[in-house]
Amino acid sequence: MTEYQIALLKGDGIGPEIVESATAVLKKTGELSGFSLNFHDYLIGGIAIDETGVPLPQETIDGCLASDSVLLGAVGGPKWDNLPAAIRPEKGLLQIRSTLGLYTNLRPARLYPALAEKCMLRADLVADGFDLVIVRELTGGIYFGERGRRTGPYGPEAYDTECYSVMEIERIARVACSTAQKRRGKVTSVDKANVLESSRLWRETVHRIAEEYEGITVEDMLVDNTAQQLIRNPSQFDVIVTSNMFGDILSDEMSQLTGSIGMLPSASLGDGTRGLYEPIHGSAPKYAGTGRCNPIATILSGAMMLRYSLNQAEAADRIEAAVDQALRDGCRTRDIADDDNTILSCDEMTEAILQRL
């Protein structure tokens, strides 16, 4: 039997609960599909600061590098908000992405038929649903650029620098184009080329790379217009490729069109097979220990891990089908429930999905 070593970075807030849900689903899926998963816990984020003084201990880095893949919960919370930037919980997340060479973030967003009434848009705008993927560059741009504070003409000021190399844009463009080839063949490159020089380089590089891929069409769209178009007609999009910050913001916008931010998984990938998989939502510390969180985004992140890192596509399909069936059967956590729904706890939703595997 094939065995896989999986690093678990449960993190803070609701992180431990949702990761436990995902590992339960992954473990049973492996049993049904003929492989096994060995899980190893490591610290990251606020809990790592509390126990070791840093948000990403060396033991965690070593454990992730020794694993076949990594499943992450969430990091951060008010407890650590006033720490210096260099040791905030979020710094650990940026560091592990960079250390593992994970420059691509795939964020799929689809409207499940059973949740159509939870979409924030009018029914006629999403009558046919939508299914898109945001390909977000993950280790460059303003989040990793030069930053600091200084004295300017009006007194103290702060700055963060947006910078992209041709190489960084080329590799993310290739991911977007190859992803589109497996889908509907359309790439929307999102930038702010009317203002930013980095976006002008982005635009010309994406078009040059797209010429290498047959059957691909590329359109350019300014980020502010993209934000409008996602509300106006999300079904027009297939693959959106964009920078680190723009992708971060637009994918959170998409979460509200799918019914809840608790529904969206993500995969962070590099050149190898090892990836880091996590829900796009945060640690939601006020819900920690209450059982009110939605585990679906983390469970679906586990399915993405099976598909992209472990080459277990049929097992990934099994999880996704179980989630779909649970929703069709009316299973709802608080964030996706209506007045006539029975509200399930995190553990109860997990059990509902386990029963449908």
212 neighbors 102 (Cβ within 8 angstroms): no
The one catalytic residue among 10, 91, 118, 192: 192
Task: For residue 275, give the H/E element and its range.
Answer: strand 275-279
297 neighbors 262 (Cβ within 8 angstroms): yes
Residue 217: closest CA among 188, 175, 245: 188
The one catalytic residue among 41, 81, 160, 224: 224
Q: Is 160 a catalytic residue?
A: no
Residue with token string 């009316």: 330
Q: Is 143 a catalytic residue?
A: yes
Residue 92, exposed/middle/buried by CB under 10 A (0-12, 13-18, 19+)? buried
Q: Is 45 left (phi over 0), alpha (psi -120 to 50) or beta?
A: left
262 neighbors 293 (Cβ within 8 angstroms): yes
The one catalytic residue among 248, 277, 308, 335: 248
Token pair of 253 as six digits: 């916008």
Amino acid present at 172: I
Q: Is 248 a catalytic residue?
A: yes
Q: Angle CA(143)–CA(148)–CA(151) in degrees, nearest 5?
A: 145
The one catalytic residue among 252, 287, 324, 347: 252
254 neighbors 151 (Cβ within 8 angstroms): no
Q: Which value, in Å, is the radius of gyration of the alpha carbons in the chain?
A: 20
Residue 278: closest CA among 304, 247, 249: 304
Residue with token string 């799918």: 258
Distances in whole angstroms, Cα of residue 24 to Cα of each of 19, 99, 110, 265: 9, 28, 24, 17
The one catalytic residue among 103, 112, 143, 164: 143
| Cα–Cα distance for residue pair 351/206, rounded to 1 Å | 44
Task: For residue 248, give the H/E element and its range.
Answer: helix 244-257
| Cα–Cα distance for residue pair 269/78, rounded to 1 Å | 29
Which residues are known to be catalytic?
143, 192, 224, 248, 252
